A = this chain, B = another copy of it.
Amino acid sequence: MRVMLRVAYDGTAYSGWQLQPNAVTIEQRLNEALEDLFGMPMAVIGASRTDAGVHALGNAAVFDVDTRMPASKIAYALNTRLPEDIRVVNSSEVSPDFHPRHTESVKTYEYKIWNDTFPNPTVRLYSHFEYGEIDVGRMAEAAEYLVGEHDFTSFCSAGTQVENKVRTVFSVDIKRDGAMITIRVTGNGFLYNMVRIIAGTLLKVGQGAMEPADVQKALDGRDRQLAGPTAPARGLTLVKISYGENG
């Protein structure tokens, strides 16, 4: 059967999701736990290959296995074999041809900014620190330009090898809770570094270094130079991936 895992992790200690030589990754730790559980080499297919330092509450991965263990119990069996900073929060059977990257999905990311006089050590690994005034009203105004179907060429890393850079962003919500500013972005697909560049751009707008309307100019110009910087990885969390009827 094909089993889908929902995976949460603290990305701090990892060189991202994807297998690499000479570096520890989330994918590697999952493969090792599966191998230990089922006694044979195993390989997951991940939904989102998050970068080093990026976190997840609900990344997804599938693998195939011939076992009498109920799919729903696999999460528990894997967690006893995984380090504390990786948890499988759900396991379920999916159809044998389900592919987590080739199936339409809605992804939700959060980018967190700790905006205070000093960094807070207890949130430092899960947010980006910025002192000085940030106007979240301006950020929300700028965010509206991003909603909808657009060519996001200006909002992905310059070297990105994908031909079609049109994506649909369903919502970009900004909220402030004390010193913590959260940018929540939902869409049907994201280019490389897209959420971090959106966050870096909205931050520049909030700080007054860019105008809200500059976001429209950046979209129109299709040039990475027109958007703001790529915000640091630690502020980013992949919150969830929804696959319609597949959950």
User: Which residues on A are within 8 Å of B, measured CB to CB?
Assistant: 8-10, 55, 57, 75, 79, 84-89, 117-122, 124, 126, 237
A/B interface sample: 27 pairs, CB < 8 A: A8-B118, A8-B121, A8-B122, A9-B121, A10-B121, A10-B122, A10-B124, A55-B121, A55-B122, A57-B120, A57-B122, A75-B118, A79-B118, A84-B121, A84-B124, A85-B121, A85-B124, A86-B121, A87-B118, A87-B119, A87-B120, A87-B121, A88-B118, A89-B117, A89-B118, A122-B126, A122-B237
Q: How far is the CB of A68 from chain B (nearest CB, A)?
A: 23
CA distance A87 to B9 in the complex (A): 25
Q: Are B84 and A119 within 8 A (Cβ)?
A: yes
- Kindly state the separation between the CA atoms of A9 and B121 in the bound complex, as whole angstroms: 5
Binding site of A, secondary structure by majority: helix, strand, loop or mixed?
mixed
Number of copies of this chain that the complex holds = 2
Please give, as numbers and ranges, the residues of chain B lying within 8 Å of A10 by CB-CB distance: 121-122, 124
Which B residues are in CB contact (< 8 Å) with A87?
A: 118-121
Closest Cβ–Cβ distance, residue A63 to chain B (whole Å): 19
**B-chain residues with CB within 8 Å of residue A88 when the two chains form the complex:** 118
A175 to chain B, nearest CB (A): 14
Task: Check A8 against B120 for contact (C-beta < 8 Å).
Answer: yes
* Cα A121 to Cα B56 with chains together (Å): 9
- Expressed in whole angstroms, the Cα–Cα distance for A113 and B87 within the complex equals 17
Residue of A9, A57, A122, A237 ringed by the most chain B CB atoms within 10 A? A122
Residues of B within 8 A of A8 (CB): 118, 120-122
Report A71 CB to chain B, min CB distance, Å: 16
Measured CA separation A122–B8 after assembly (Å): 8
Distance in Å: Cβ of A58 to nearest Cβ of chain B: 11
* 10 A-B pairs with least C-beta separation: A10-B121, A89-B118, A85-B121, A9-B121, A87-B118, A10-B122, A55-B122, A8-B121, A122-B126, A87-B119
